[in-house]
C-alpha cells in the first residue's frame, strides 16, 4: 500500500487549501448571517458566489471515481481532498461535493438510464439543482432497508406513490427539485428484491414537505432534513432506476461510497478541532500555567493526534481497497471506518470543547455545532451497531458458513 500523494493530488490539495483559506473560512460567518436574515430556507448568495468561483477554478465534481463525469480521481485520491473540504460545514458545497447529491449523482451515473441522466444528472453535475434521498420512514426501523413500507404501485404507464418519509436531507431547500424515493413495489418477491428506487420531481402534485426536523436544536438551514408526505403521487413508469425490485441492490452500492466521503470529512473536522484545542491551550493561562500544561491536557492533545492519524490510515486503507478489490470485498473495511471516523471526531471535538471552557459550547466557536453534526453521523447512514454487526459477521465467516450468520 502506498498512501503517498501523487503529484496530481498534491497539486489539488494545495489549490483546495488555498481556496478554503482565501474564500471558505472567511465566508463561514457571512453564511451564518445570511441564513439568519429573513427566510432561513432560501439559498444564500454567498454560497452561490463560492460555487461560481470554485467552478471557474476547475475545483468542481472532484468525487465520482471510475467515471468520465468527475475529475477522474480514485477513492484514494479523493480522500485527502474530502478531508480538506470537511474542515468546514460549508466546505463541500462550493465544490459540488456535498451530501446527499454526491451519492445521488453516483446512483444516476451507475444505474440511471440515458434519459434520467439527461434530465437529472446533468443539472446536478452543473450545480444548478439539488436532490434528496427519501428512504427513512418514521413508522418503521429504517436501519433495516428491507423494512420500508411506503409503496409505489404500478398503474398503466405510471407509478402511484404513497407513504411518509422523514430525514430526507435537503428536501426543504428550494433548489432541491428531485427526490430518489425508495419504496415497496414487489411485496411478493424475496426480501431483498421487494423495493425500488424511483425518481420523483419534488413539485409533483401529492408531494408535501411537511416540516424541517431539528438536530440537537439546529435546523441545518437552508439544507435541512425534512419530513415528506407522498399522497397518490403519480410519476411515469420509466422513472424507476435500474428496474423493479432493485432498490436494495442500489442502496448497497450507494451507501458504501457515500459514507466514506462522510468519514473523510469527519477527519478534516477533527483535525480543525485539534487545531483550535492546541491554540487555546497555549494562549490561555490558569493557575499560573498555560492550559496545555495543566492536568491531563497534554495527554488529551496527544490522544487526539494519535486517534486522528489512526482513523485517517484506516480510511485511506478502505479507499485503497475500494479502488483495488471493489466495494463488496472492502465491505468490512468500509464498515470499520463508518464506526471509527465519527467516533474519533466526536472524542476530539469533545476534548476541544472542554479545553475552551464555556466558550466551547457557545456560538462564538463552531465546536458545539460540529459536535451535533458528528453525533448525527453515528445514525445518519446507518447506526454504528449495524456496521459493527457487519464487521463481526465478516470475522465469524472465516470460521462458520455465512448462511449460519444470516438474520443475526
Please report, as ranges, the residues that interact with ligand FAD according to CB under 6 A. 100, 133-136, 141-143, 167-169, 215, 225, 376, 379-383, 385-386, 389
User: How many residues would you count in the chain?
Assistant: 408
All 3 cell numbers of residue 117? 441522466
Percentage helix, strand, coil, to 5, in the chain? 55, 15, 30
Nearer to ligand FAD, 71 or 198 (CB): 198
Nearer to ligand FAD, 379 or 391 (CB): 379
Residue pair 310/344 in contact (Cβ under 8 Å)? The answer is: yes
Closest C-alpha to 311, from 279, 337, 284, 346: 337
Pairing verdict, β 289-290 and 151-155: unpaired
CB of 379 to ligand FAD, least distance (A): 5
For 330, other C-beta atoms within 10 Å of its C-beta total 23
CB of 145 to ligand FAD, least distance (A): 8
CB of 382 to ligand FAD, least distance (A): 5
CB of 320 to ligand FAD, least distance (A): 26
CA distance 158 to 130: 24
Nearer to ligand FAD, 72 or 139 (CB): 139
CB of 380 to ligand FAD, least distance (A): 4
CB of 157 to ligand FAD, least distance (A): 27
CB of 388 to ligand FAD, least distance (A): 7
CA distance 142 to 69: 32
End-to-end alpha carbon distance in the chain:
34
- CA Rg value for the chain: 22
Nearer to ligand FAD, 359 or 389 (CB): 389
Nearer to ligand FAD, 134 or 267 (CB): 134
**Residue 244 phi, psi (nearest 5):** -65, 140
Residue pair 24/92 in contact (Cβ under 8 Å)? The answer is: no
Nearer to ligand FAD, 305 or 388 (CB): 388
Nearer to ligand FAD, 121 or 226 (CB): 226
Cell numbers 424475496 correspond to what residue?
190
CA distance 357 to 367: 11
Residue 322: which residues within 8 A CB-CB, separation 6 or more?
Answer: 65, 75, 256, 257, 260, 330, 334
Nearer to ligand FAD, 77 or 381 (CB): 381
CA distance 260 to 265: 9
CB of 377 to ligand FAD, least distance (A): 8
| Beta strand ranges found along 10-157 (DSSP E) | 130-134, 151-155
What is the per-residue DSSP string for 294-318? STTHHHHHHHHHHHHHHHHHHHHHH
Residue pair 63/76 in contact (Cβ under 8 Å)? The answer is: no
CB of 332 to ligand FAD, least distance (A): 15
Residue 112: which residues within 8 A CB-CB, separation 6 or more?
Answer: 120, 121, 241
Nearer to ligand FAD, 77 or 137 (CB): 137
Nearer to ligand FAD, 258 or 366 (CB): 258
CB of 122 to ligand FAD, least distance (A): 22
Amino acid at each position: 500500500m502506498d498512501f503517498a500523494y501523487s503529484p496530481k493530488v498534491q497539486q489539488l490539495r494545495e489549490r483546495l487549501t488555498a481556496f478554503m483559506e482565501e474564500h471558505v473560512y472567511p465566508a463561514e460567518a457571512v453564511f451564518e448571517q445570511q441564513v439568519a436574515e429573513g427566510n432561513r430556507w432560501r439559498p444564500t448568495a454567498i454560497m452561490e458566489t463560492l460555487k461560481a468561483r470554485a467552478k471557474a477554478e476547475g475545483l468542481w465534481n472532484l468525487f465520482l471515481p471510475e467515471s468520465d463525469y468527475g475529475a477522474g480521481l480514485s477513492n484514494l485520491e479523493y480522500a485527502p481532498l474530502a478531508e480538506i473540504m470537511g474542515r468546514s460545514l460549508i466546505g463541500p458545497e462550493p465544490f459540488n461535493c456535498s451530501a446527499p447529491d454526491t451519492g445521488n449523482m453516483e446512483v444516476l451515473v451507475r444505474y440511471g438510464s440515458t434519459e434520467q441522466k439527461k434530465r437529472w444528472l446533468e443539472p446536478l453535475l452543473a450545480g444548478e439543482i439539488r436532490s434528496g434521498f427519501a428512504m427513512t420512514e418514521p413508522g418503521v426501523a429504517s436501519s433495516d432497508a428491507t423494512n420500508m413500507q411506503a409503496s409505489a404501485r404500478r398503474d398503466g404507464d405510471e407509478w402511484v406513490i404513497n407513504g411518509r418519509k422523514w430525514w430526507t436531507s435537503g428536501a426543504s431547500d428550494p433548489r432541491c427539485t428531485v427526490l430518489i424515493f425508495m419504496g415497496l413495489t414487489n411485496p411478493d418477491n424475496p426480501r431483498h428484491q421487494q423495493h425500488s428506487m424511483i425518481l420523483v420531481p419534488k413539485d409533483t402534485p401529492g408531494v408535501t414537505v411537511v416540516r424541517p426536523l431539528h438536530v440537537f436544536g439546529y435546523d441545518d438551514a437552508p439544507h435541512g432534513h425534512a419530513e415528506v408526505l407522498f399522497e397518490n403521487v403519480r410519476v411515469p413508469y420509466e422513472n424507476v432506476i435500474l428496474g423493479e425490485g432493485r432498490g436494495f441492490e442500489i442502496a448497497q452500492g450507494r451507501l458504501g461510497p457515500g459514507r466514506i466521503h462522510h468519514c473523510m470529512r469527519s477527519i478534516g473536522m477533527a483535525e480543525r478541532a485539534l487545531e483550535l484545542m492546541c491554540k487555546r491551550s497555549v494562549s490561555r493561562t490558569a493557575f499560573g500555567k498555560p492550559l496545555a500544561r495543566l492536568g491531563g491536557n497534554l495527554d488529551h492533545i496527544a490522544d487526539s493526534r494519535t486517534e486522528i492519524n489512526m482513523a485517517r490510515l484506516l480510511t485511506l486503507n478502505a479507499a485503497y481497497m475500494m479502488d483495488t478489490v471493489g466495494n463488496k470485498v472492502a465491505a468490512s473495511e468500509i464498515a470499520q471506518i463508518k464506526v471509527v471516523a465519527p467516533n474519533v471526531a466526536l472524542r476530539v471535538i469533545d476534548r476541544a470543547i472542554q479545553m475552551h471552557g464555556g466558550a466551547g459550547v457557545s456560538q462564538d466557536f463552531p465546536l458545539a455545532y460540529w459536535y451535533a453534526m458528528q453525533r448525527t453521523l453515528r445514525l445518519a447512514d446507518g447506526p454504528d451497531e449495524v456496521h459493527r454487526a457487519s464487521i463481526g459477521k465478516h470475522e465469524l465467516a472465516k470460521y462458520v458458513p455465512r448462511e449460519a450468520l444470516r438474520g443475526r
